[in-house]
C-alpha cells in the first residue's frame, strides 16, 4: 500500500488532520484504528431503546474559537444546548461550578455578591505554603466546601486523597459571584444533530481517505509506503514502553434504560460524597431527543487498561516529558492529541491543535 500520509487513530485529532489533508492537499491518507469504529471517545450510537448514547462518557461541544466552531459546522447541523451540572450534596442538587446560587441554596441564605465574598473569606483556612490540592481548596473555600465538593470526589476520581495530589490538579476553585449556573460560559455551545459519529463520518467522506479498523498499526505499518506519520495513540506504546508504562485513570461505564421520560433534573449530575460513581448522564437532555424511555450512564473511575485521564502527579508528568523528548527526535512523525501528548484536551482544543499541526505540516 502506498499513501503519502498515514494517521494512527480515528479520534477527533486524527480525523481532523486526515480531513484537512484530503480536502486541502488532495493527497491520499490512510487512517489505521485499533477499535472497530471511528470517532474515538466521542463515538455515539443508538441503543436498544432508540436513544442516542455516547459510549465513552458525555461530550458536549463548547468553544470561544469561531474558526473551530465554523469548521465543525461544515460537517453537521447544530443543536444548541447550554450545559448545566448539578452536584448532589446533603440530599439536594445544587449548581456546579460553585456560584452565588450554589452558596445560597446550600446554606439556605440570600447573599449578595459582596456578602458572598465575605462569607467565603470567613471560612478560608490560613495555610502558609500551598503544596497540595487539599491546601488549595482549604485556603480558598474552607473545610466545609472542601469536604462537600472536593475531598471525596477527588478520592473517587483519582484513587488518592487530595493531600497526595500536587496543587496544580486543583489550582483554583472557580467561584462565580453571579447567578449564572451554566457549566460553560463559552460563546458557542451545543452538539451535532444526529451525534458526533455522524459528524465524523461526514468528515471522512472523502475519496482520498481510507480507514482501516480493528487494526493495530504496528501489525501493518511495515507494509505501507508513506512519507509522513501522524500518531495519535499512546506515546509510551509507540516506543514499546522502553521507559516504562505511563499511568492513566480509566472508567467503568454502567448504562441503564429506565421506563420513564425523565430520570434527573439536568443532563449531568455529580456525586461528590454518595455512592461509588462520580457522575450520571441522561443523554436525551444533551441531544434534545424525544422518547418515552430514557437512558442514563453512571461512571465509576478505576484503574484499567483503557486510558481516559492522564494521571496528574509529578511522577507521571516527568515520565511523559521523557517520552516527549524521545518523540521530538523522531523524523517524519507528528505526535498529536491526548494520548500521544499525555495531555488532557477538550474537543475544541484538540481540533484547534489538529488544525494548527496541519498548517505547520505545510511549512
Q: Of these residues, 172, 241, 325, 356, which one is catalytic?
A: 172
Q: Of these residues, 27, 117, 186, 346, which one is catalytic?
A: 346
Distances (CA, A) of 166 to 123, 213, 316: 23, 39, 12
Q: In what order do the strands lie in the sheet with 309-310?
A: 92-96, 85-89, 268-270, 279-282, 294-302, 248-258, 309-310
At 307, list the grid cell.
Answer: 486510558
Structure-derived torsion over alpha carbons of residues 223, 225, 227, 232, reported in degrees to the nearest 10 = -30
Q: Is 183 a catalytic residue?
A: no
Q: Of these residues, 84, 176, 352, 353, which one is catalytic?
A: 176
Pairing of strands 85-89, 333-335: unpaired
Q: Of these residues, 20, 28, 84, 249, which one is catalytic?
A: 249
Q: Is 35 a catalytic residue?
A: no
Contact 134, 168 (CB under 8 A): no
Handedness of CA 204, 206, 211, 217 (dihedral sign): negative
Of residues 318, 320, 321, 274, the one with CA closest to residue 298 = 274
Pairing of strands 44-46, 52-54: antiparallel
Distances (CA, A) of 7 to 13, 233, 336: 9, 10, 10
Pairing of strands 209-212, 29-32: parallel
Q: Of these residues, 20, 28, 279, 352, which one is catalytic?
A: 279
Neighbours of 155 (CB within 10 A): 15
Q: Is 45 a catalytic residue?
A: no
Q: Of these residues, 67, 275, 344, 356, which one is catalytic?
A: 344
Residues 2 and 227: their CA atoms lie apart, in Å, by 9
Q: Is 249 a catalytic residue?
A: yes
Q: CA Rg, the chain, in Å?
A: 22
Q: Of these residues, 299, 342, 348, 352, which one is catalytic?
A: 299
Contact 64, 186 (CB under 8 A): yes
- The 8-class DSSP code of residue 225 comes to B
Distances (CA, A) of 254 to 159, 296, 302: 19, 8, 13
Q: Is 227 a catalytic residue?
A: no
Residues 43 and 20: their CA atoms lie apart, in Å, by 20
Q: Is 20 a catalytic residue?
A: no
Q: Is 179 a catalytic residue?
A: no
Of residues 360, 329, 353, 356, the one with CA closest to residue 339 = 353
Contact 144, 102 (CB under 8 A): no
Residues forming the active site: 172, 176, 249, 279, 299, 344, 346
Amino acid at each position: 500500500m502506498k499513501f503519502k500520509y498515514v494517521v494512527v487513530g480515528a479520534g477527533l485529532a486524527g480525523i481532523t488532520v486526515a480531513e484537512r489533508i484530503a480536502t486541502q492537499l488532495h493527497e491520499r491518507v490512510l487512517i489505521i484504528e485499533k477499535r472497530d469504529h471511528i470517532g474515538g471517545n466521542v463515538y455515539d450510537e443508538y441503543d436498544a431503546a432508540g436513544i442516542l448514547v455516547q459510549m465513552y462518557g458525555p461530550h458536549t461541544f463548547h468553544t470561544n474559537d469561531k474558526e473551530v466552531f465554523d469548521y465543525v459546522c461544515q460537517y453537521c447541523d447544530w443543536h444548541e444546548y447550554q450545559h448545566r451540572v448539578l452536584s448532589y450534596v446533603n440530599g439536594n442538587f445544587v449548581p456546579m461550578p460553585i456560584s452565588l446560587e450554589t452558596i445560597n441554596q446550600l446554606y439556605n441564605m440570600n447573599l449578595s455578591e459582596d456578602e458572598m465574598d465575605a462569607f467565603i473569606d470567613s471560612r478560608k483556612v490560613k495555610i502558609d505554603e500551598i503544596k497540595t490540592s487539599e491546601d488549595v481548596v482549604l485556603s480558598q473555600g474552607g473545610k466545609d466546601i472542601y469536604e462537600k465538593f472536593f475531598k471525596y470526589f477527588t478520592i473517587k476520581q483519582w484513587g488518592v486523597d487530595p493531600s497526595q495530589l500536587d496543587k496544580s490538579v486543583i489550582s483554583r476553585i472557580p467561584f462565580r459571584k453571579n447567578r449564572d449556573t451554566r457549566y460553560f460560559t463559552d460563546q458557542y455551545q451545543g452538539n451535532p444533530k444526529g451525534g458526533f459519529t455522524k459528524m465524523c463520518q461526514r468528515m471522512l467522506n472523502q475519496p482520498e481517505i481510507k480507514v482501516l479498523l480493528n487494526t493495530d498499526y504496528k501489525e501493518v505499518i511495515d507494509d505501507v509506503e508513506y512519507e509522513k506519520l501522524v500518531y495519535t495513540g499512546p506515546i509510551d506504546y509507540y516506543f514499546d514502553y522502553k521507559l516504562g508504562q505511563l499511568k492513566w485513570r480509566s472508567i467503568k461505564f454502567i448504562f441503564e434504560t429506565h421506563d420513564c421520560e425523565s430520570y434527573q433534573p439536568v443532563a449531568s449530575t455529580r456525586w461528590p460524597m454518595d455512592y461509588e460513581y462520580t457522575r450520571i448522564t441522561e443523554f436525551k437532555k444533551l441531544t434534545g431527543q424525544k422518547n418515552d424511555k430514557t437512558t442514563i450512564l453512571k461512571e465509576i473511575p478505576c484503574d484499567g487498561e483503557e486510558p481516559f485521564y492522564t494521571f496528574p502527579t509529578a511522577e507521571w508528568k516527568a515520565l511523559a516529558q521523557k517520552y516527549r523528548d524521545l518523540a521530538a527526535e523522531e523524523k517524519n512523525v507528528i505526535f498529536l492529541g491526548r494520548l500521544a501528548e499525555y495531555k488532557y484536551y477538550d474537543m475544541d482544543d484538540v481540533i484547534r491543535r489538529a488544525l494548527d499541526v496541519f498548517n505547520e505540516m505545510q511549512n
